[in-house]
Structure 1
Amino acid sequence: MLSPEEFEQQYPADKLAEELPDKPISSLRDIQYLYGKLYTLATAGGGAYASYLTPDAANGFVDQDDSLVVVRADVSGDKPRLETGDRRGPVWITRYTKERIPKVAHCKYPAARGIDHSITHQAGKNSDPEKLARYAKERLTKWPKDDVVQSVADDHKDGWIINALSDLGEDESVLKTIEESVTTQLKGSTSALLTVKVKTEPDGEYHWPSDGNLDVLMAAMRRRKLSKLVSKGQASDSSGEAIDLVTGARTRTVGTAEDPLNYFLGKQLEKFPGFDPDEAWRTHPISEDAAVTLMNAETFVDACTYRTFNTNVYYLPYFFGVPEPEETHLLYRLLYSIVSESDSSEQLTPIENAYLHQKERFGDDADANGLRFYVSAVMPHQMSRYDVFGETMNGLIQYPANLAFAHAQVVQTTAFREGHKRTGALPNHENWQLLNGENILGSVASGSYLYQTLPSGDDDTDASADDFRIRALVAILSGEAIPISSLLERYVERIIEDSRDDENGFPVFLVASQYAQLCALARADHDFLTVRDANKALRPITNPPTYESRPMQSRQEKPVPDGGFAGATKLESFIEDTPALAKNDERCASFLLGALVGAVGDYQEYEQGRSTTLVDQFPVKSVTRNRVKKIAEDAIEKAVTYTRQEKKGGMSYPGMKFDYIADRLREKIIRPDPDDWSIDTDDLRFYYALGVTYGMNDRKIRSNDTDEQPAETSQVDQ
């Protein structure tokens, strides 16, 4: 494949413009056609037969010893014969070089058995001399006698050349000579292409298959390949005259062309009730040449594809509008870099590669260069069945990039970073990616971003057809909005799922990661969250929190003002800066309830050494509206009990332990009574879990750097 520099040199703007479609890119087929065009130009060049060739199929054979076996046939006389006058003999065994790639005009037939479409045939790797001798003989005995090839011989003015090769293959002495020549020259197994050179004039030269003098061989190759497009799967002859979906021309079209994305397969009868595969050309008409060009898109399409949750995620870049040479040069550079990256050991997803390429080429103007992405996820099943999720033509690299940037910002705010006297509102951990903020774009692209926060289902990493993770991933990549209610439901399901693991206790890092993700979705420069039902109470969750940015810094940089209590100040600020809490008393009460349970449970575990705490007594799955008062009463009662115990032990301070939480909780559950709340159960449970995480993380920082412990006004450590 040509490098971008070679491509631009060989196809300058004026020459490239002649090859490009003259209509806007408006469908997946248009993208595939453009990819196929670029791949063909970069590998096989131009010409009527270029798109039918597979010059990369035998890349591994290039410049290898004994990698090209050439049978030389002289059909210029009354009787065809093998070349005998040259010292190299009738069979020439040499190297398959870069210069010879276009000469042999190879067109591979991707089947376990059978001959390639072209007279040039690719043998398997490390074939023994006897097998290669058989393949060499089949250039005369099998390929020319193929029914499709013979039909070309009947129609073409030079069909006699094919018949002469066929006649030569009927001479047993000729076949014996070929076999002896191959087995004598080869000393062991090798990987090779096998082809012919043909002499058609008595005083002429021997011509490679691609030579204009042997157009009949190329025409036969073309017809053999096209024959597979009309008889694929359950279709016997899916062809007819119609308007080509790609070019708009009225021509002969086929209906069962191969497709790198496996759309419109003949076996998918359940998608089209009563569908007749032979009539597919009427519902999905593509011209013969366009169909082959689509097939050539496979290399670029596969490079822009990656697997996650057992699905194939397609992220295909294109420039909006009618393809222009300058933009197409840039597109080729991007596709080439993605193909090159896919072969490297440190593989990036196509999304990361596209993002880096965009920034390198366009800098801060990357948002406005017109680059779009086709986005979909396809899940393969048995028997060639496929499910397609969330197809869109309007993907932008900025969607996942903005989310990744927003997430990295969120975890550097006061919500996740400790202050002077207290821990952060929520925990962070260097080994939890969604809490340390590193390589978030790669996480978003790979699906790990959702794998870490959403329920895994029965198959863990493999998704089912209705898996929310796939729909959410496609939504993020394509800029679609995710319903808040669905997201909270899955968050809670995952929390309950992870809470079953008694060894690790309450999943504080999971909840913190989920909340960081929720904040990032709300904070990103795009509407990733939506309320699709009548529950307007969910709308504040879509508003981004206003936490102060706080990079990692010294604990002494930001002291709490004299006269304040750091725990109360932090709680008040967190609620005020969180629209979901500040604008909904029921949700705020749910959070405060969890915070008190978490704080008391943390005290029970670390100060009293209890193995079972309030957090265990009131797990997330048990929390409902009609249990709120009961849980609140038990938590407050425990706080009162521990306050009395500490006072008896000689500690003296005003009020009750954790009163800065309990007092606010009392206010929130009086009006209205929890029995009359309207908050959804998933909403209630998620923010209860968030509160538990807050309460378990809310403690005074103990410094090892100084003997003097920072004092808190009016309260002791709680």
Structure 2
Amino acid sequence: MLSPEAFEEEYDAETLAAELPASPVASLRDLQYLYGKLYTLATAGGGDYAPYLTPDAANDLVDTEDSLIVVRVDLSGDDPRLADDERGPVWVTRYTDDRVATVAHCKYPAARGIDHSVTHQAGRNSDPEKLARYATERLTKWADDDEVRDVAEGHEQGWIVDALRELGERDDALDDVESGVKRELGGESATALLTVQVRLDADGDYRWPGDLDVFMAAMRRRKLSKLVTKNEADDSSGDAVDLVTGEAARTVGTSEDPQNYYLGKQLETFPGLDIEEAWRTHPVSEDAAVTLMNAEAFVEACTYRTFGAKVYYLPYFFGTPTPAETYELYGMLYRAANEDEMTPIELAYDERHLTADAADDLRFYVSAVMPHQMSRYDVFGETLNGRLLYPRELAFEHNRVTETSAFAAADEWSAPLPTNENWGLLAANDEMLRSVSTGWYFHQTFAERDDTDADADDPRIEALVDVLSGDAVSVDVLLAEYVERLVADEDDDDVERFPSFRVASQFAQLCALATDDLDLLSTDDPGKVPITRDPSYETHIMTPRDDNPLAIADGGDAAAAKLETFIDETPALAHDEDAPINDERRGAFLLGALVGEVGSYQGYSEDRSTTLIDQFPVKSITRARVKKVTQETVAKTLTYTRGEDRTITLFEHVVDRLRETILRPDPDDWEIDTDDLRFYYALGVTYGMNDHPEWDSAQTDTDDE
């Protein structure tokens, strides 16, 4: 495959423009055709037969010992015979770069059968007996193939194929080929291509298959024959307008597809499909069909697996392809196929392959495919309008969120929520774009599933495709997934404490998705609309003024101000006359905050192994239990306050707000749904566990003070 530099040198702008489609990419087929064109130009070059060749199929054989076995046939006399010169009837040599085009290999990707071309690729480390048989089959099985014979009958060079077949009917000739192969290999096994050379004139050279049109035409016919007989069709072909090029041509209906979208077995996709008439439903010309097949290398390079599905993220430039954009695109595809383990999103973000001006014109085809048995596939989340903007900006916004006042401490007092450099979503990092583009972003926050038994309804896949294509993720789905993951964490014996880092990661994700410029959250529930709004946390944390000193550990100005600010800057918690459900959500959050405060106090001050956090896990919180849990938690707070002879109620900044919120309206009349209630309760627990000053610099509460 040509390097990007060699590709641009080989095909100047004028030459490349003549090869490119004259219409914009408007469908997946258009995009596959463009990819197939680029792959063909980069590997087999131009010409009528180039799309049919598979020059990369034997790449691993290039310049290796005994990698090319040649049966040499002399047709310069009256009767065909094997070569009798100094090189002999069988020549074992190296398959080199300069022989790739002339050997003209066309692989048939099947466990059994011979390759489409007269050149055949043997299996790895084949023994001499098997290689000898393959060598003779160049004169027997291939030359006697129905499609090959049919081509020979109407081709001016058809006599060459007839002569090979005639030679293959002679036992002495076949014996000479077999013994020649074994002798030249010295009894050793080899991995090789097997082909023929033919001399037509007594004073001429021996010519390779690529130099003889009849061999190339026969190869083309054999490959095309598979496109009209797949899935037991007799002849799924007919004259129609090619849906790719828009030209009238002989079209085929059962051609292969790099993404397995158009299969004869996919009857649910094409109800009532008659395979014989498939060319009417999905007409693709013969040459276009083969070009589409050639797209596979680049398509697979822009594919990655996650959650048991294959995600396709195929870049292209909006509008009719131009040479300048195509050079840029080929560079990305080449790197994806040959150099990098990056996703296409990361490659596009790389400045070496994407200029600032090109960013707005770059588009991506995005889909996820869930494979099943019996060659059936579910396709969902398909769009041609994916843009680098969405995953790139989401990664940027998530990093930004982790550095706002919600996560970054203001001097001696802790931030509302914890951070941890070992948790990918709790610290700004250069890997965030990869996290988003590979699906790891949702793997860390959504409920875990067995990927070996994944299905098309997997919310992680739906969320990933939504983000890649710029569609909004459902808040309702997010909350359900978040809570299920938290409950599983709490039930996990390997998790020793409340999963506060998980909650903080989920909330950071929620905030990033809600960013105004992205608008990646949606809901049909009016009560959840505030959750979809962008929080207004400060990006730069300011040092507290000298006239507003930090408060004492049991609550005071700093703790109360921090709580007040966090609530006011969080749209889902702030008072909103248009969203009365916020009051209930705020009540759940404050209840969680007090449970977190008291539970942490029990741990560090009372040295208790079981705390209120353990006593009231997320899965235990329901509307029916909110009042009871509140009463018990407040009572426990007052008990500890009296036991330490404190002048100020422990965690007064939370208790006072909770008393107000929990009564308006009474929890018995709440309407908030369970997932909403539980997530914001968990967020509150996380807040409470993290609500403390830096103990070394904090003052303590005493009767004297």
TM-score of the superposed pair, with normalisation by structure 1: 0.93
Q: Secondary structure at the match of 1:579?
A: coil
CA distance in 1 between counterparts of 2:267 and 2:159 reads 43
Match of 1:706? none
Match of 2:132? 133
Match of 1:514? 506
Match of 2:436? 444
1:178-327 equivalence runs, <5 A: 178-187=177-186, 188-211=188-211, 214-327=212-325
Deviation at 1:53, TM superposition (A): 0.1
Residues 1:587 and 2:592 are matched in the alignment:
no
CA distance in 2 between counterparts of 1:107 and 1:558 reads 77
Q: Secondary structure at the match of 2:316?
A: strand
Extract unaligned runs of 5+ from structure 1: 704-708
Deviation at 1:142, TM superposition (A): 1.0
Residues 1:529 and 2:521 are matched in the alignment:
yes
- For the structure 1 residues 197 and 234, does the alpha-carbon distance in structure 2 shift closer, same or farther, using more than 3 Å as the test? same
Contact kept, 8 Å, 2:332 with 2:353, in 1: the verdict is no
Q: Secondary structure at the match of 2:230?
A: coil
Residues 1:456 and 2:448 are matched in the alignment:
yes
Residues 1:474 and 2:472 are matched in the alignment:
no
Match of 1:685? 678
1:541 to 531, 539, 543: 531
Letter in 2 for 1:562: P
Match of 1:68? 68
CA distance in 2 between counterparts of 1:664 and 1:557 reads 23
CA distance in 1 between counterparts of 2:179 and 2:516 reads 71
Say which is worse superposed, 469-478 or 426-435, in terms of deviation.
Answer: 426-435
CA distance in 2 between counterparts of 1:713 and 1:478 reads 54
- For the structure 1 residues 314 and 225, does the alpha-carbon distance in structure 2 shift closer, same or farther, using more than 3 Å as the test? same
Residues 1:79 and 2:79 are matched in the alignment:
yes
Match of 1:484? 475
CA distance in 2 between counterparts of 1:560 and 1:301 reads 63
CA distance in 1 between counterparts of 2:287 and 2:89 reads 36
Deviation at 1:420, TM superposition (A): 2.1
1:268-417 equivalence runs, <5 A: 268-342=266-340, 347-356=341-350, 359-362=351-354, 364-365=356-357, 367-368=359-360, 370-417=361-408
Q: Secondary structure at the match of 2:380?
A: strand
Q: Secondary structure at the match of 1:360?
A: coil
Contact kept, 8 Å, 1:235 with 1:266, in 2: the verdict is no
Q: Secondary structure at the match of 2:514?
A: helix
Contact kept, 8 Å, 2:36 with 2:291, in 1: the verdict is yes
Deviation at 1:558, TM superposition (A): 7.5
Contact kept, 8 Å, 1:463 with 1:470, in 2: the verdict is no
Contact kept, 8 Å, 1:566 with 1:712, in 2: the verdict is no
Deviation at 1:350, TM superposition (A): 2.4
Say which is worse superposed, 638-647 or 481-490, in terms of deviation.
Answer: 481-490
Q: Secondary structure at the match of 1:510?
A: helix
Contact kept, 8 Å, 1:30 with 1:246, in 2: the verdict is yes
Contact kept, 8 Å, 2:511 with 2:534, in 1: the verdict is yes
1:163-178 equivalence runs, <5 A: 163-178=162-177
CA distance in 2 between counterparts of 1:599 and 1:501 reads 23
- For the structure 1 residues 336 and 37, does the alpha-carbon distance in structure 2 shift closer, same or farther, using more than 3 Å as the test? same
Deviation at 1:218, TM superposition (A): 0.8
CA distance in 2 between counterparts of 1:440 and 1:462 reads 27
Deviation at 1:506, TM superposition (A): 1.7
Deviation at 1:253, TM superposition (A): 0.8
2:414 to 413, 423, 443: 423
CA distance in 2 between counterparts of 1:313 and 1:208 reads 41
Contact kept, 8 Å, 1:562 with 1:713, in 2: the verdict is no
Q: Secondary structure at the match of 1:103?
A: helix
Letter in 1 for 2:317: F
Match of 1:160? 159
Match of 1:573? 565
Residues 1:711 and 2:699 are matched in the alignment:
yes
How far does the alpha carbon of each residue in 1:330-384 deviate from its partner, in whole angstroms, 9 at most, with x for none?
1101101111235xxxx2222222221xx3344544532x110000010111111
Match of 2:21? 21
TM-score of the superposed pair, with normalisation by structure 2: 0.95
Q: Secondary structure at the match of 2:384?
A: strand
Extract unaligned runs of 5+ from structure 2: 552-556, 577-581
CA distance in 2 between counterparts of 1:658 and 1:316 reads 54
- For the structure 1 residues 362 and 111, does the alpha-carbon distance in structure 2 shift closer, same or farther, using more than 3 Å as the test? closer
- For the structure 1 residues 460 and 103, does the alpha-carbon distance in structure 2 shift closer, same or farther, using more than 3 Å as the test? closer
Letter in 2 for 1:323: P
- For the structure 1 residues 409 and 571, does the alpha-carbon distance in structure 2 shift closer, same or farther, using more than 3 Å as the test? same
CA distance in 2 between counterparts of 1:71 and 1:365 reads 55
CA distance in 2 between counterparts of 1:517 and 1:451 reads 12
CA distance in 2 between counterparts of 1:78 and 1:501 reads 84
Match of 2:549? 562
How far does the alpha carbon of each residue in 1:477-516 deviate from its partner, in whole angstroms, 9 at most, with x for none?
1111011112111111111121112542321111111001
Contact kept, 8 Å, 2:366 with 2:469, in 1: the verdict is yes
Say which is worse superposed, 539-548 or 44-53, in terms of deviation.
Answer: 539-548
Match of 2:104? 105
Letter in 1 for 2:535: P
CA distance in 2 between counterparts of 1:536 and 1:372 reads 33
2:667 to 674, 678, 688: 674
Say which is worse superposed, 284-293 or 156-165, in terms of deviation.
Answer: 156-165
Say which is worse superposed, 130-139 or 223-232, in terms of deviation.
Answer: 130-139
Match of 1:149? 148
Match of 2:690? 697
Deviation at 1:681, TM superposition (A): 2.0
Match of 2:554? none
CA distance in 2 between counterparts of 1:504 and 1:390 reads 38
- For the structure 1 residues 423 and 71, does the alpha-carbon distance in structure 2 shift closer, same or farther, using more than 3 Å as the test? same
CA distance in 2 between counterparts of 1:716 and 1:47 reads 95
Letter in 1 for 2:252: V
Deviation at 1:205, TM superposition (A): 2.6
CA distance in 1 between counterparts of 2:335 and 2:120 reads 30
Letter in 2 for 1:167: E
CA distance in 2 between counterparts of 1:563 and 1:210 reads 84
Deviation at 1:710, TM superposition (A): 3.4
Contact kept, 8 Å, 2:593 with 2:654, in 1: the verdict is yes
Q: Secondary structure at the match of 1:612?
A: coil
Contact kept, 8 Å, 1:403 with 1:524, in 2: the verdict is no
Deviation at 1:437, TM superposition (A): 2.8
Q: Secondary structure at the match of 1:434?
A: coil
Contact kept, 8 Å, 2:315 with 2:344, in 1: the verdict is no
Say which is worse superposed, 149-158 or 268-277, in terms of deviation.
Answer: 268-277
How many residues of Structure 1 are paired with residues of Structure 2 in the alignment? Answer: 691
CA distance in 2 between counterparts of 1:467 and 1:479 reads 18
Contact kept, 8 Å, 2:90 with 2:184, in 1: the verdict is no
Q: Secondary structure at the match of 1:443?
A: helix
Contact kept, 8 Å, 1:136 with 1:178, in 2: the verdict is yes
Q: What fraction of aligned residue pairs are identical, expressed as a percent? A: 62
Say which is worse superposed, 672-681 or 25-34, in terms of deviation.
Answer: 672-681
CA distance in 2 between counterparts of 1:715 and 1:7 reads 82
CA distance in 2 between counterparts of 1:440 and 1:224 reads 49
Letter in 1 for 2:469: S
